[in-house]
Amino acid sequence: MIELATPLSEEQIRSLHAGDRVVLSGIAVTGRDAAHKYLVETLIEGPRPLPPADKKIYEELESILRGGAIYHSGPIVRAEGGTWSFVSAGPTTSIRDEIYQDKVIAAFGVRVVIGKGGMGARTLAACKKYGAVYLHAIGGAGVYDAASVSDVIEVFMAEEFGLPEAFWKIRFHQFPGIVTMDAHGKSLHDDLAGSFDKRLTELIRGRDR
């Protein structure tokens, strides 16, 4: 098991390979569909100068994501005495953010993207070019995943996006996952898809004989 802690260097990321098991600690942020759309269309490609409110969020997110991690998760949260905590925080399907992820990696210097199901060619190319990895989290185990979130520090855009889609600034303590897309152009998702297609073809040919 490889232990990682944000912020991460490009050298650390390029030392990882698809199939490595890791635990991640340190500051990260959640972000789903609405968050990625906002990151790209407003903060990256929006008109300049940014309005003060957007500029403030940009600067905060840049400080988190530079060498850091973004987690594709829409957590179930609880507030007690003015303090937030995660009740459940499993990964959501990442491919929905394929149209945005490469731009987020490039603009913010993201080192780790966490989710489930893998991502496509654009994200894999960005991982190789800029030095990032995709970390596959444990799906269907939201309460277990939430146990690795030791602190919920702050929330951004909750009123605009709703709690599941908001940016949650969190602290991980040994969050577990597997590197399934690395910075060398290797994707276990592509490999498995190729194996499945080959086996399916063999089965169909065998049936038709």
Q: Where are the domains of the chain?
A: 2-208
- Whole-model pTM? 0.91
* pLDDT tens digits, 150-192: 999 999 999 999 999 999 999 999 999 999 999 999 999 988 7
Q: Which range, of 24-33, 79-88, 115-124, averages the lowest pLDDT?
A: 79-88
- 17, 36, 184, 189: the active-site residue: 36
Q: What angle do CA 145, 146, 147 make, to 5 degrees?
A: 90
Q: 119 pLDDT exceeds 70?
A: yes
Look up the CATH number of domain 2-208: 3.20.130.10
Q: 145 pLDDT exceeds 70?
A: yes
- pLDDT of 92: 95
Q: Please state, rounded to an integer, the average pLDDT across all residues of the chain.
A: 93
Q: With contact defined as beta carbons under 8 Å apart, do 70 and 28 qualify?
A: yes
Q: Grade residue 198 by pLDDT with cuts at 50, 70 and 90.
A: very low
User: Does 36 qualify as catalytic in the annotation?
Assistant: yes
What average pLDDT does this structure show over 75-88? 93
